[in-house]
Amino acid sequence: MSAEMELFYEKQGKLLIKNLQSRHFEAYYCHTRQEALETALSLIPEGSSVGWGGAISAQQIGLMDALKAGNYRTIDRDTVEDRDAAMHACLNADVFLTGANALSLDGQMVNIDGTGNRVAAIAYGPKSVIVIAGMNKVAPTLQDAISRARNVAAPLNQQRFLLDAPCSHTASCSDCKSIGCICNQILITRHCREGRIKFVLVGEELGF
């Protein structure tokens, strides 16, 4: 990454941190993935039950591997036979990890979900929600953030799943009603009570 981009992300990150805090979120800016990993782990008490859903950014900073190797009770839907039961268990976890499909510079988060387990956990359930987000997720306004989630994040994620939906083939949103649509729920998180949701912003490109 160029020095100019690093400086851009850092300055934009400071503004975003301020705006997130004004909405009563906890927020931290980290220059590197390693710094983000250390910060995220400091927010998770040992012995906690920890679940996640669609958290590519958390994987990319090594958070899942660190949790599995440490003194934590992880709920990993991809390593158990009953995936649906694991997703329900995440709703009662001490800590839930997620990424963000987009963030507006004024401090609002947009997430799109197919099954709904991820947006459900963000909205209610786990005692603490930790959002790992690269600065590439930041958009100027809320409408821009919604557009990013629908026109960038969702088609990119669909390339992982390749379900029966138009964007699987075109990589472009067609506002479909297909059986394989992964844009079934759109959640805007604009405010937080008692610091339940915590943001770890990373000055790198992470996730989709």
pLDDT in tens, 79-98: 888 889 999 999 999 999 99
Per DSSP, 152 falls in state: I
Judge whether residue 136 has pLDDT over 90.
yes
Report how far residue 119's alpha carbon sits from residue 104's, in angstroms, rounded to the nearest whole number.
17
- In this predicted structure, what is the pLDDT of residue 64? 96
Report how far residue 146's alpha carbon sits from residue 63's, in angstroms, rounded to the nearest whole number.
27
- In this predicted structure, what is the pLDDT of residue 54? 80
Distance, first Cα to last Cα, the chain:
17
Exposure string of 118-141, with b = 16+ CB inside 10 Å and e = fewer, is: bbbbbeebbebbbbbbbbbbbbee
Asked if residues 196 and 129 have their Cβ atoms less than 8 Å apart, the reply is: yes
User: What pTM, to 2 d.p., does this model score?
Assistant: 0.95
pLDDT in tens, 22-75: 999 999 999 999 999 999 999 999 999 999 988 999 999 999 999 999 999 999
Q: Which residues contact 108 (CB under 8 A, 6 or more apart)?
A: 23, 142, 145, 188, 189, 190
- In this predicted structure, what is the pLDDT of residue 8? 96
Judge whether residue 157 has pLDDT over 90.
no
| Fold that domain 3-202 belongs to in CATH | Rossmann fold (3.40.50)
Q: Which residues contact 80 (CB under 8 A, 6 or more apart)?
A: 86
